[in-house]
Amino acid sequence: MATYFTSDQHITLRHPERGERFSRFMGLLNPGQDRLVIAGDLVDFWFTAREAGRTQPISDPGLIALQNFVSQNGQVILLAGNHDQHLGWYFEREFGLKFTPEPFEADLDGFKIRVVHGHLLGGRSSWKGWMESRLFLKAFEQVPDSIADRLAGQLKKYNSRNRRVDNLRHYMVFERYVQSLFFSVADITILGHIHQTIFHDVPMPTIELNETKSISRIMPMAVLGHWFQQSSWLKLENGRSEFYIWSDDSPAPEQVNDSRIQRPI
């Protein structure tokens, strides 16, 4: 059995290529042997606010692939992200899945893992937190499509201009979070939320026991995402950890490591 970790697909009917990527990825999994952990934001805010309640039956290829996996007794652990945290009713109705509270901690495939989405760790701006409230969700659901399109366009421009700075801010928050887990039993900390794939060892602070003894360690940190341009995931199997990226123009996924996935600068 292998466990696959992934996050931030941001599936929405407005961007079918995202669901197609996820469907292609799901084709690698064996429902009878593999386990899937989704660390939040499987769907986009647009889907949460304007599509989930209007679309019946499911038409997105990625969600269909997930539905098929679950129907064949595939094990799925789903965390809530900032984009889909209010969509528990939908995942339960369509897939029979309930959100797993974070942090999710477990012994899987030879590793002790800890998983959080990452949006609650302190890196996001307060106004974005307000945009993810139920009040804004309901308001956005009611506005005409033309207005919703303009608002979404403005937000996309803002995110594009500020993505590098936002990613760096979140990365620093994530690294401090991992360092705060010095005495945790986890072997790997897994996060999502930002759209940059990162997989490397975080140096932990040295703990001085006395004048002659100290404790130091490192902890691997995997930040999953970047599904706007490609697929990415972490695979744990038989005590091995492997990180993969699957570009849209590639016939097969590529295993990558620290030398290919650099921390933000």
Give the angle 91-93-95 at the CA atoms, nearest 5°.
55
Q: Which domains does the chain have, with CATH numbers?
A: 3-256 (3.60.21.10)
CA-CA distance, 187 to 225, in Å (whole number)? 20
Per-residue pLDDT of the chain (265 residues; tens, 9 = 90+): 899 999 999 999 999 999 999 999 999 999 999 999 999 999 999 999 989 988 788 899 999 999 999 999 999 999 999 999 999 999 999 999 999 999 999 999 889 999 999 999 987 777 777 778 888 888 888 888 889 888 888 877 877 787 778 888 888 899 999 988 877 778 899 999 988 888 888 877 666 666 666 666 778 899 998 798 889 999 999 999 999 999 999 999 998 875 445 555 5
CA-CA distance, 236 to 238, in Å (whole number)? 7
pTM: 0.90
Structure tokens at 190: 């897994």
Residue 209 has a pLDDT of: 62
CA-to-CA dists, residue 242 to 3, 70, 232, angstroms = 11, 24, 11
Residue 162 has a pLDDT of: 74
Residue among 79, 60, 75 at smallest CA distance from 30? 75
Residue 204 has a pLDDT of: 74
Residue among 260, 211, 253 at smallest CA distance from 21? 253
